[in-house]
Amino acid sequence: MNTAGSPKTVTILGATGSVGRSTLDLIARNPARFEVFALTAHRDVAGLAEAARRVGARQAVIGDESLVPSLREALSGTGVEALGGEAAVIEAAGSGAQWTMAAIVGCAGLKPVMHALEGGGTVALANKEALVSAGHLLVNSAKSSGATVLPVDSEHNAIFQCFDRSHPGSVSRVILTASGGPFRRCSLAEMRVATAAQAVAHPNWSMGAKISVDSATLMNKGLELIEAFHLFPLPAEAFQVVIHPQSVIHSLVEYVDGSVLAQLGAPDMRIPIAFTLAWPDRMETPCERLDLVRIGSLEFEEPDSQRFPALGLAREALRSGGAKPAILSAANEIAVASFLESRIGFLDIASIAGETLAGFDPPEPRSIDEVLEVDRQARAIAVAQIGKFAS
């Protein structure tokens, strides 16, 4: 815990992505409250250097080691230490910061997240694939080190704010909301010919391409069900999904007496990020304030399992357990990347994920290295599936 008046020390893993940039925006608005130890990025040298200069980071780490000379040149004269490579990113994750934002996309974030948890500080978790693929390992690591895990996804952050963690037995149900994405009202025929540009045009949220496509398929909501299972002590069947196109209610928690608590807010990721950044306090944000009168009405509907089969695949993976969630996450990443490259159709994403899930059943991983091996094999199987669907 930082002493009264001293700034909270911060490290941001994935500083140039959408979540990282939103985090930096909040920190730049409150420079006296935070001291930045390290920022990392995969290949965005210009974005990383600009961010490091803006918040006065001690260290900037680029994942692609070949880009270190370019990063050093970009930071010349700033006093910011420039490093690179996977090992340097992992070391930055264990920099000793009191608060670490884990926002590296995909299984590339697994080892850094684990290293941050082993340090025993507070980890704001925005990497859903890490918890999906290695949930038990990450949760056990946090318990062993005394680390605090704070969810950044708007849905899990909302649950965290409404969930009585001292009396989990009083909770009967958790309802995660989904916007329904850009294809909520589209027919299967329309979805079959949907383009990448259409899929990433989320109606409410500003997000990266991969997560925007996941939102369009509802795979993001399926992965979030698996995440929620690891974050909150309830059985798998207690987690449900409802389509809520306005994205005003971010999730709801129902108690055994019939009371339902919900967290509402504008669809701006800076709100849940600020909650984790200031926790256990709160901090001001520049986000739009909720105007319920202007919104007028809130809609809800059941997810359509025929048009959005990804949600069912995630439930299947959660029920099966073991390596199945890691397989689903890996296969989905391969399929989404192929869709964004226009190699397969939109509906093929769930088909490839489903075939990979059904055709690969390794033992449950017992270490991060074993998770990464399952991830590698699942990706190879998914790549082999691409040829069957490639246009």
pLDDT in tens, 155-167: 999 999 999 999 9
Cβ proximity of 113 and 127 under 8 Å: yes
pLDDT of residue 80 exceeding 90? yes
pLDDT of residue 388 exceeding 90? no
Structure tokens at 354: 């489903």
pLDDT of residue 100 exceeding 70? yes
Start and end residues for every CATH 1.10.1740.10 domain found in the chain: 321-391
Predicted confidence band at 387 (pLDDT cuts at 50, 70, 90)? confident
- Nearest Cα to Cα of residue 285 among 299, 301, 269, 298: 269
Cβ proximity of 209 and 198 under 8 Å: no
**Fold topology of 321-391:** Rna Polymerase Sigma Factor; Chain: A (1.10.1740)
Q: How far apart, in Å, do the first and last CA atoms of the chain sit?
A: 55
Structure tokens at 161: 């704010």
pLDDT in tens, 304-338: 999 999 999 999 999 999 999 999 999 999 999 99
Cβ proximity of 277 and 123 under 8 Å: no
Q: Which of 71-75, 189-193, 197-201, 298-302 has the lowest mean pLDDT?
A: 197-201
- How far is residue 87's CA from residue 94's CA, in Å, rounded to a whole number? 11
How many other C-beta atoms can be found within 10 angstroms of the C-beta atom of residue 372?
Answer: 19
Q: What percent of the chain is predicted at pLDDT more than 70?
A: 97
- How far is residue 37's CA from residue 282's CA, in Å, rounded to a whole number? 22
- How far is residue 45's CA from residue 69's CA, in Å, rounded to a whole number? 10
- How far is residue 170's CA from residue 365's CA, in Å, rounded to a whole number? 32
CATH code 3.40.50.720 for 8-152: yes
Q: Among the residues of the chain, which ranges form H helices?
A: 18-29, 45-55, 68-74, 86-93, 110-118, 128-145, 154-162, 188-192, 196-199, 209-217, 219-231, 270-278, 292-295, 310-320, 324-340, 348-359, 368-389
pLDDT score for 204: 67
pLDDT of residue 208 exceeding 90? no
pLDDT score for 206: 63
- How far is residue 185's CA from residue 214's CA, in Å, rounded to a whole number? 17
Question: What DSSP state is assigned to residue 234?
Answer: S
Cβ proximity of 154 and 250 under 8 Å: yes
Q: Which of 61-75, 114-128, 194-208 has the lowest mean pLDDT?
A: 194-208
Average pLDDT of the chain is: 94
Start and end residues for every CATH 3.40.50.720 domain found in the chain: 8-152
CA distances from 110 to 89, 107, 129, 132, 133 (A): 11, 5, 8, 10, 9
- Nearest Cα to Cα of residue 355 among 303, 310, 306: 310
- The reply to whether omega before 69 is within 30° of 0 (cis) is no
pTM of this structure:
0.90
Structure tokens at 258: 């019939």
Question: What DSSP state is assigned to residue 236?
Answer: G
At a CB cut-off of 8 Å and minimum separation 6, what does 291 contact?
none
Structure tokens at 73: 């040149």
How many other C-beta atoms can be found within 10 angstroms of the C-beta atom of residue 44?
Answer: 19
- How far is residue 180's CA from residue 242's CA, in Å, rounded to a whole number? 9
Each residue of 142-155: b (16+ CB within 10 Å) or e? beeeebbbbbbbbb
pLDDT of residue 58 exceeding 90? yes
Predicted confidence band at 267 (pLDDT cuts at 50, 70, 90)? confident
Cβ proximity of 334 and 354 under 8 Å: no
- Tokens 């680390």 sit at which residue? 147
Q: Collapse the DSSP code of 318 into the 3-class scheme (helix H, G, I; strand E, B; otherwise coil) and give the result.
A: helix
DSSP string covering 87-133, please? HHHHHHHTS--SEEEE---GGGGHHHHHHHHHTTSEEEE--HHHHHH
pLDDT score for 205: 63
- How far is residue 242's CA from residue 198's CA, in Å, rounded to a whole number? 23
Structure tokens at 68: 């270190």
Predicted confidence band at 1 (pLDDT cuts at 50, 70, 90)? very low
pLDDT score for 201: 85
